[in-house]
Amino acid sequence: MVFSSALFVFYFLPVFLLAYLATPPAYRNWTALAGSLAFYTWGAPIFVFVLIASSLADYYFARQIAQLYDSRQRRHWLGASIVLNLGLLGYFKYANFFVENVNELLATLGLEPMKWMAVALPVGISFFTFQKLSYVVDVYQRRMPALQHPVDVLLYIALFPQLIAGPIVRYHEIAEQLHHRRQNYHLDYRINGFFRFTIGLAKKLFIADVLGEAVQNGFQPDAVGVLSTPEAWIILIAYAFQIYFDFSAYSDMAIGLGKLMGFDFPENFNFPYISGSITEFWRRWHLTLSNWMRDYLYIPLGGNRRGASRTYFNLWMVFLLSGLWHGAAWSFVLWGAYHGLFLALERLFLGRWLEAAGKWISIPFTFLVVLMGWVFFRAESVELARAYYEALFSWRGGGWSFSSQFWFFFSLAAVISFAPALGGASYRLDSVYSSSTAPAILAKGAGSMVILVLCFSEVAVSGFHPFIYFRF
């Protein structure tokens, strides 16, 4: 079920919210869990059992860890959780990739390929795996106590607004809210949540999906070879805007839905394209993934505490694995390694140069670096990425042909993405989201309804498209 579908907005969401608000606060976790499992079952009826069974296993592992004092035994149960979760992720997400590469090697050697039935990918497994690991690790580190009831564990892992594509909510960020969130919250809080949801819906339908049509056509294997160089650059920049507005739209909608239920989810984006370095970019882009990787991978590897060489290695390894987390393809591995390389270079010397150069040089430079990485991310293979780089850098004359609608939303995306670099816009946008004055609430309530009507007029004409991060 997609947030931008009529089924979700006009049927599932109203029915769920009515049931949720009608439930006494003491039992709302049960209602929220039932709604979340129904939401997941709609799109993945078989894999809901994987979600439930593995979550119950982590509930048991965490309970064992919490009541033990022997460090060896505690590590034993932590290891069991890590093996289970990474084993499931590895099987469902990477088994096909592994077999494909083995078969390519066997074919090169003139041997028979392995017989293999392709494994289907459970929706959202990359995201809920990280949340399950966060729960067990936080309990292991005694950062937070283990939850006593399996319903609470299942709710934390399966809460539908952020189940499929984040934000990745670390356990310690939400543990208190599982029992002490806003239950009798005021109308202004709900309207702020609904407004945030509709803003995300508009970003998805009017910017991401419109730009995505041109991007989809431009990245077709038979199209890349005939793209003019200007077309290739325009399409690549359009993809940078598409993925930002698509993914941040989902995060806006998830955060807004969370508010409708009384939850405060962490922010996931903060104008990433005004970054003056790749280090800053990762403090603004997919913040919850960056924070997860820092807490549960980079710091355990030693962080920056074991000398410069080890720091560079840790950074590179974290982002190599981050690339692999995004998708089972060599192009994602290269994308992660590429970002890890620039992070290491900034630690070595590049960061000082960018800081000295000033934002009018560092921001365009960083955006160019990010653009070059998006080629790996968007291309379906390394070969297609190579062909696209050729279109970018071996001059091919010719013009371009894009619709006036494309240019309007391309320009709008550029203004929204880069205007905060001029100063002050970030604060003003934050104020729009959070203001609770009576005029602001009335304006947001009316604006939300207008946006909703416009969005579903667009859906009626053009249909809706899955979010990019659904495939991760």
Catalytic positions are 326
How buried is residue 145: exposed, middle or buried, by Cβ count under 10 Å (0-12/13-18/19+)? exposed
Amino acid letter, 68: L
Q: Where are the alpha helices (DSSP H) in 419-437?
A: 425-434
Amino acid letter, 176: E
Task: Look at the alpha carbons of 162, 165, 166, 171 in this order and tell me if their dihedral is positive or negative.
Answer: positive
* Calpha distance 313→305 (Å, rounded): 12
- Other beta carbons within 10 angstroms of residue 431's beta carbon come to 10
What b-and-e string marks burial along 22-46, b requiring 16 or more CB atoms within 10 Å of the CB?
A: eeeeeebbebbbbbbbebbeebbee
Length of the chain, please?
472
Q: Is 271 left (phi over 0), alpha (psi -120 to 50) or beta?
A: left
* Calpha distance 158→54 (Å, rounded): 11
Residues with Cβ within 8 Å of residue 262, at least 6 apart in sequence: 177, 181, 182, 183, 185, 189
CA dihedral 241, 246, 252, 253 (to 10 degrees): 160
Amino acid letter, 156: Y
Are 135 and 157 spatial neighbours (Cβ–Cβ below 8 Å)? yes
* Calpha distance 395→335 (Å, rounded): 24
Return the CA Rg of the chain: 23
What angle in degrees, to the nearest 10, is found between the helix axes of 48-67 and 28-43? 140
- 470: nearest Cα among 48, 96, 166: 166
- Other beta carbons within 10 angstroms of residue 284's beta carbon come to 17
* Calpha distance 258→254 (Å, rounded): 6
